[in-house]
Chains A and B, each alone.
Chain A
Amino acid sequence: MAIIEMSGIKRHYQVGEVLVRAIRGLELSVESGEFVSVMGPSGSGKSTLMNILGCLDKPTEGSYVLDGIDTRAAGPDEFADIRNQKIGFVFQGFNLLARTSALENVELPLFYRREGGPGRGGRGRKGEQLERARKALEEVGLGGRLDHKPSQLSGGQQQRVAIARAMVADPAFILADEPTGNLDSEMTLEVMSLFQELNERGKTIVMVTHEPEVAAYTKRVVTMRDGAIVSDRPVAERRRAAEDLRAWQAEHASLSGVKDEARAS
């Protein structure tokens, strides 16, 4: 079943006299359970596409059916509810609330959950919400960092908090705009292995990246240029992030082992 069904999508920005055509006629269909990476040079419209996919922005033209909902008729409140119930966001800059604990950051989508939402009906009680947020943090391996503020966490840990937040409300799919853009290679592997794990458990993920090595962990690569899709093909040799992470850590450990020895002598 298609979760994302886009056709004839255009997004124009009027900047003074100039009309910027960020997206010019785009067709995209994503099935449930896919793991798609969107690639392309800077300015090719990847973020614009993600914003439209995430119901943060409306296309100038075209139709977008999300999990059976035609978004053309939706107003700001419906958009807010779709974001709340159907979509989990992971951003390049993490976008966590500062001075707020990891647990409360993860709880945030449940905070805005409305009565009669699909999936789970009604507002959860406070205790139940906290429990779900705690479980989501445990799943991303941060069960011991519940009360840490973002400033007390590493970039990789912050991004994992963001992923926990994206998952906590059990959305139809996760959108990630350059989630590894601000991370070093070990953290990148941590995040990618987490995404792969989620995808294996059935979560649909659409992710922007400009690194081919990162795209290699996904199942399908969509390439954009000048606001249109120029190629769309499955990943031939899919890599496993968890394995690469172990390999990297082993190498790192032996390196630091050498260093330790050097220091000891």
Chain B
Amino acid sequence: MTAAKLVTLSARSIFRNKMRSLLTSLGIIIGVCSVIVMVAVGQGSQEQVKRQIAAMGTNLIMVMPPRGPQQGNRLTTADVKKIREESSYISAVSGVSRGSVTVVGGEGAGEEANWSTTFYGVEPDYLLIKQWEVASGEFFADKDNAARSKVAVLGTTVAAKLFGSEDPVGQRLRIGSQPFTVVGVLASKGSSAMGDDQDDVVMVPLDTAINRLSRGRYMGSIEMSAVKEEYMDAAQAEITTILREAHRLAEGATADFDVMNQSQIIETASATSKTLTTLLAAIAGVSLVVGGIGIMNIMLVSVTERTREIGIRMSVGARRRDILLQFLSESVILSLLGGVAGILLALAIAAALDKLAGVPALVQPGVIAVSAAFAAAVGIFFGFYPARKAADLYPIDALRYE
């Protein structure tokens, strides 16, 4: 018997019982569909986390005040200066002083707008470190920092809240009670992996922030980029040495700062979501196996129902292998059809999640191939026993079966 004949034969018996075939492959449809959707959602969010981390800069190193009830924040602009001068592994460094503030703008338009946001006092290097881009106008320069100029660069959210569709560049606004001039608008970054709006910021020169907005000597953090990802460890060690020296810490004394590596945080984040993806796929995989059992069940019924047919086929010369292949190909085709339907359904659901529900879903071709192969494997595995049962029938018993 040729493969073409085999497929025709199986397809015919599948389409003869359309309703039953549909119900039988429903298990596979749901199984394949949920595997793909689960993996798509998992990989989609993983991809999103990775993208955002890349957007933050994978070379990022942060120095922060120690967590816990140790002595207060002691990070100063002098620390930043020392790092900039002495470090060999750091390509960009910026002190960061941030806080909540209310901004008021739109005075020129006659109608005032209030907005609560976060100000970031930073140095120009901060753009490089966090991979921000300026969409219009320009970022402030080192001289603005030195002069404590009252200039601000707005995130798109703040720009929209205060100025609507107007171009904010050159406009004036108040940050707290201080008047500032807008010199630029940042390109939008969207929401972060944690879901907060990264564009809801106002950036001002670091010294301006320290002296006019925070009114404290110390900064919240120092952020910097290592020259290369490979040098992260060396860079961290070096920063630690430089800061201990700057803070005149004795040998063995507890540091009054923490040096943290952003890529470590990223790794844990993506490892967690990877584990989650695998777990979800495994759960969905179980439903595929249940679908396979459904196929086995129906095939066993079918073999019993068609015992007479099997006997007839044997009496005219079908070998055991012919019978085996006939039933096996039926279950494989059934599960493959279910697999294809499941894939199409999954693509539709993934697209709907992505477009309509805003859940990132990424269907990769590999996943489709694997689940199609898995569906076929389920067909073979669960179809084999019933097919064997059919092939092992003794011709006269099968012929006499009522």
Contact surface of A with B, Cβ cutoff 8 Å? 51, 54, 56-57, 76-77, 80-81, 83-85, 89, 91, 95-99, 108-109, 111-113, 123, 165, 169
Contact = CB atoms under 8 A, between A and B. Distances in A.
B221 to A, nearest CB: 78
Contacts of A80: 314, 317-320, 322
B399 A83 contact: no
Nearest to B5: A111
Contacts of B311: 95
A57 B398 CA distance: 12
Given A77-B321, A89-B316, A165-B316, 7 more contacts: A56-B396, A83-B315, A83-B317, A95-B311, A95-B399, A108-B312, A109-B316
22 contacts: A51-B396, A56-B315, A56-B396, A77-B319, A77-B320, A80-B314, A80-B318, A80-B322, A81-B317, A83-B314, A83-B316, A84-B316, A84-B317, A97-B309, A98-B309, A99-B16, A108-B316, A111-B5, A112-B1, A112-B318, A112-B319, A123-B2
B396 A81 contact: no
A74 to B, nearest CB: 12
A223 B2 CA distance: 44
A108 B1 CA distance: 11
A111 B1 contact: yes
Interface string B1-42: 110010000000000100000000000000000000000000
B399 A112 contact: no
A95 B317 contact: no
B316 A112 contact: yes
A123 B5 CA distance: 12
Interface of B: 1-2, 5, 16, 308-309, 311-322, 395-396, 399
Contact of B313 (A81, A112, A123): A112
A77 B314 CA distance: 10
A215 B161 CA distance: 105
Nearest to B316: A109
A128 to B, nearest CB: 14
Nearest to A84: B317
B396 A76 contact: no
A58 to B, nearest CB: 10
A54 B317 CA distance: 11
B393 to A, nearest CB: 11
A112 B315 contact: no
Contacts of A113: 317
Contacts of B317: 80-81, 83-85, 109, 112-113, 169
A98 B305 CA distance: 12
A96 B334 CA distance: 26
B319 A54 contact: no
A169 B315 CA distance: 13
**Of listed B308, B312, B315, residue having the most chain A CB within 10 A:** B315
Given A56-B315, A56-B395, A112 B322 contact: yes
Contact of B312 (A54, A81, A84, A97): A97
Nearest to B320: A76
A107 to B, nearest CB: 10
Contacts of A83: 314-317
Contacts of B316: 83-84, 89, 108-109, 111-112, 165
A186 B319 CA distance: 37
Nearest to A77: B319
A83 B320 CA distance: 13
B391 to A, nearest CB: 10
Nearest to A91: B399
Nearest to A123: B2
A54 B315 contact: yes
**Of listed A56, A77, A84, A97, residue having the most chain B CB within 10 A:** A56
Nearest to A109: B316
A56 B321 CA distance: 16
A80 B318 CA distance: 6
B236 to A, nearest CB: 73
Contacts of A81: 317, 319
Contacts of B320: 76-77, 80
B319 A56 contact: no
A112 B314 CA distance: 9
A80 B312 CA distance: 12
A95 B313 CA distance: 10
Nearest to B318: A112
